[in-house]
Chains A and B, each alone.
Chain A
Amino acid sequence: MDELAYVELKGIVKTFGALRANDGVDFRVNRGEIHALLGENGSGKTTLMNILTGLYRQDAGDVFVDGRRVFFRTPKDAIDSGIGMIHQHANLVDALSVEENIAAGTERTFWIDKKKLRVRISEIAESYRMLARPAAKIYSLSVGEKQAVEILKAFYRGVTTLVLDEPTSVLTPSEADALFLNLRRMRECGHAIVLITHKLNEVFDISDRVTVLRKGNSIFTSPIGATNRTELTEKMVGRAISLNIPRTAAPPARETSRPPLLDICEIVAGDGRGRFLDRVSLQVESGEIHGIAGVAGSGQRELCDAIAGLTLVTSGSVRLNGRDIRGMGPGRQRAYGVKIGYVPEDRMEMGLAGDMSISGNVMLRDFLTGLTGSNGPGKIFFNADEADALADRIIKKYDISAPGPAEPVKNLSGGNIQKVLLGREIERRPDLLITAYPVRGLDIGASTYIFELLNREKENGVGILFIGEDLDILLGLCDRVSVMRSHKLVATLDARTAAKTEIGALMAGHSGAPAL
């Protein structure tokens, strides 16, 4: 018998309707250990951690803390037992200060003794050698600092087991480094840390042990020294797959007489709410996959929206095949035959209507012109048969698993939802395809399929603007990569020769490449 586990989950079962999200999962984490929880999307990581932190209740199975069986009804119950979770996006009140945020919801008394609070916060911060500015307002902090506040808040509440859900996905490389340094110190203090991630690098960088989940089962646990990347990947996907993203040949050089496919020059844009573009210039060629790297929120979304005509461009020019399309909304782009496909980053918020059927979604872009005659009854009624036929075609062609065209899109899995959206945009035969984080939240199988699709479109001569977050993917798939920082486009590099460290430095704003 090994030492007594600090937190242990035994035989956890949790079903959602027909889906068994957790099917008898065992998981244990010890004091003074960083334990990586690895698994594809839909493998049950998040469900398991939601049970551990009191958000869900298990259908069967037990949770033990220090050998004592516990029941969590609410996150507060879990925190009382010393288990806290740090979510990807901070749950902090922007207008309040750090200390107010930390005290909110934790103090039982109505009046808060600020002096005592401040002392206590700096004590905690000191013991982990974290920087703390208790009086600073949340809105003035960077993403990494906000995350640190969340962690402080957890410790303030007496948390000794910390669960972090993909904490580095919103951080710059240097911020991630700082986070890891902190995690190591917490480990020294004897805390238990669970790191949910799908990035193998991080697993090897920091964790002591790793547990792999697949299809709701815990199938593999090992000290980090006794395993390797290939083994972990195999365990995750259940088969050995190549991690190499196939990059097809670069497009032939454009004849100088022809304009570039997309030519953006010095555009300034914004929706008046603080999101904007600051004199961005960019060119995308036909048959090219052009990547955009950058920390989330650096202006990628605004860039895509500006091209798609969803954000007002106040100066500069946007040309497609030499034609000025600045100020053309999606309706006018369609009317004038400007063919831009756009896969936005949050597909359920923009791009798809979740409550509607697959048919209803695939006809979205062209229901006025493409699916029916523009005269006669087609002017008033839409042609449901044609929409169903198109949906059927897309379902078959893109291998979407769905009961039929009438199925509401929201009932599909993430990968299939993405395929509906991509399928619709590709079937319109666009000249330019904008894809923002197209593999976010997808498992390796679905991601590979999406990459293949994009490569195929590239070979068909479509120019692709690929907004990405994972540098390995960007460098593996794209022909060129541009880096955005603080709403500016700071550099464009050849993806075949650029180094990850170089791009990381550009993202973070260092002048030179940091040592990694």
Chain B
Amino acid sequence: MISFQKRAGTSKGRAWTRQFISIIVALLTCAAVIALLGYNPLEVYRQIFAGSLGSLYSFKEMILTMIPLSLLSLGVIFCLRIQFVNIGAEGQFYAGALAASYLALRHPDMSAAGLLPLMFAASIAGGGLWCAIPALLKLKLDVNETLVTLMMNYIIIKIIAWLQFGPWKDPTIKGYPVMPAFSDSAILPSVLGIHSGWVIALALFAAAVIVLGRTRFGYQLAVMGSSPQTARYAGFKTGLLLMAATAIGGGFCGVAGFIQASAIENSLTYQMSNGWGFTAIAVAWLAGLRPAQALLVSALFAILLQGCAYIQISLGIPFFMSNIIQGIILFFVLGSDVFTNYRLVIRRTKDTQNALSERGGK
């Protein structure tokens, strides 16, 4: 029989080696599974890296995935830091995108200098609001935020779908349910060949690092996350802190939605998140809720996502098969965390037990 036993204390150095070894083990296990599926694992791995980092083009595509993913994980981090389990990043992404798109569609004639900052602000407000509602429900009525944030995802996606099929449908495209394209002034300009969302994301990350690590506000959040009772004991306004942190967290997710709608989609659709809002939760968790690490982890995820899209074409792997490979790699890399904290114990069989007890009994 095999069972898991929690490891007692872990030293930092050993934790790193263990993490490294378990990722290697994870990759080996994946290789075995990929081989079972009938593909050459070395080739698959090589192509995943070639497809995500091997050329300027693939690097750019990887960055394009990384921008929304990293911002969403940042939003999740702000909430998880105070033990507010936000699995509504997806919804906050759409809420931000919706708020920004409203302005873009309503005022196509405004100048970019006026419109883009307004859209940015609106997306923060939209995403923030969408996250603050569950926070308020938790605060006032003690409603479980996990469920509410999840449900809010579906609400906002249905609202956008309704707008797309109904009131906001582009009348110039015959009957087909798409929203009108944004005017040029609502589209983020490029910086160094990639849309300027990366500048926004980096700036927000820097701000987040400073806010969490240096400010009194960040300090209070850290205390609250570690021990809510202690925050109360110290006289913090915990309700206010909860609302502020969730609004900021939702705001980050909203900005991701704004960037995606403006720079990539040039419009709003109810299918544009690619499930990143959920991926971001894994990113935040793997990063240990630290923003700088989240940047690194979201890069790794982006490499995997882009790489798996690439092998679909280059190796002619059917899309569901590449999804499976992607899932397997994620599963084992995430799973490697288990091995850092737990030890696998293989139970001796009854026979050896008896033999040992006979010897020991003398």
Contacts and interface: CB of A to CB of B under 8 A. Distances in A.
B11 A17 contact: yes
B236 A382 contact: no
Given A67-B361, A367-B216, A380-B216, A356 B223 contact: yes
A69 B357 contact: yes
Contacts of A365: 234
A509 B237 CA distance: 41
Interface of B: 3, 5, 8-11, 214-217, 219, 222-223, 225-227, 229-230, 232-237, 345, 347-348, 353, 356-361
Contacts of B227: 348-350, 352-354
Nearest to A10: B360
Given A352-B227, A354-B227, A360-B222, A330 B235 contact: yes
B233 A353 contact: no
Contacts of A379: 216
Interface string A360-395: 100111011000000000011110100000000000
Interface residues of A, number: 45
Nearest to A17: B9
A360 B9 CA distance: 22
18 contacts: A16-B9, A18-B9, A64-B360, A69-B360, A70-B357, A71-B356, A309-B235, A310-B232, A330-B233, A350-B230, A353-B230, A360-B222, A365-B234, A380-B215, A380-B216, A380-B217, A382-B215, A384-B214
B-side interface mostly: helix
Contact of A330 (B11, B226, B234): B234
A351 B219 contact: no
Nearest to B213: A384
Contacts of A334: 235
A19 interface: yes
Contacts of B237: 331
Contact of B233 (A70, A344, A360, A363): A344
Listed from nearest, the 10 A-B pairs whose CB atoms lie closest are A330-B235, A331-B235, A17-B9, A69-B360, A353-B226, A16-B8, A69-B357, A350-B229, A355-B226, A353-B223
- Residue among B226, B348, B353 with the highest chain A CB neighbour number at 10 A: B226
A492 interface: no
Nearest to A342: B233
Given A360-B222, A382-B219, A333 B235 contact: yes
A360 B223 CA distance: 8
A209 interface: no
Contacts of A368: 216
Contacts of A331: 235-237
A57 interface: yes
A450 interface: no
- Residue among B217, B230, B348 with the highest chain A CB neighbour number at 10 A: B230
Nearest to A71: B353
Nearest to B357: A69
A380 B218 CA distance: 10
Contacts of B347: 73
A108 interface: no
Contacts of A330: 232-235
B267 to A, nearest CB: 39
Contact of A17 (B8, B226, B360): B8
A273 interface: no
B210 to A, nearest CB: 9
Interface string A33-70: 00000000000000000000000010000101001111
Interface in A314-358: 329-334, 342, 344, 348-356
Interface in A69-85: 69-71, 73
Contacts of B358: 69
A194 interface: no
A81 to B, nearest CB: 12
Contacts of A364: 223, 230, 234
B15 to A, nearest CB: 11
Nearest to A305: B233
A149 interface: no
Given A69-B360, A350-B227, 10 more contacts: A19-B9, A71-B353, A73-B347, A334-B235, A350-B229, A355-B222, A368-B216, A382-B214, A382-B215, A382-B219
Contacts of B234: 330, 364-365
Given A333-B235, A342-B233, A57 B226 contact: no
Given A331-B235, A381-B214, A71 B348 contact: yes
A308 interface: yes
